């Protein structure tokens, strides 16, 4: 399953992040990491279900990818 990073948008209530985590598990996904500092989580999520999170105005969703320095 692809991995997605989900981050709470500025000004959004912290409960919205909990709602997003519930959507992930309800759609068959798995939370793989949580961060309290930046109010985010990483999850394995079926690609055909990712759109349910992308429709949420309170979170930002992006595919997790490797970060490198030059």
- For the domain 3-63, what is the CATH superfamily, name and number? Peptidase S8 propeptide/proteinase inhibitor I9 (3.30.70.80)
CA torsion, points 19, 22, 27, 31, in degrees to nearest 10?
120
What confidence tens digit (pLDDT) does each residue in 5-51 have? 999 999 999 999 999 999 999 989 999 999 989 999 999 988 777 77
pLDDT at 18 (0 to 100): 95
Which of the four pLDDT bands, split at 50, 70 and 90, describes residue 2?
Answer: confident
DSSP string covering 8-60: EPTT--THHHHHHHHHHHHTT-EEEEEETTTTEEEEE--GGGTHHHHT-TTEE
Q: Is the pLDDT of residue 53 over 90?
A: no
Residue 15 has what pLDDT?
A: 95
Whether residue 70 has pLDDT greater than 90: no
């Amino acid at each position: 399953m692809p991995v997605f990073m989900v981050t709470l948008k500025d000004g959004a209530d912290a409960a919205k992040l909990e709602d997003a985590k519930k959507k992930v598990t309800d759609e068959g996904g798995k939370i793989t990491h949580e961060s309290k500092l930046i109010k985010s989580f990483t999850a394995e999520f079926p690609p055909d279900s990712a759109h349910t999170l992308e429709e949420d105005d309170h979170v930002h969703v992006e595919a997790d990818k490797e970060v490198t320095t030059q």
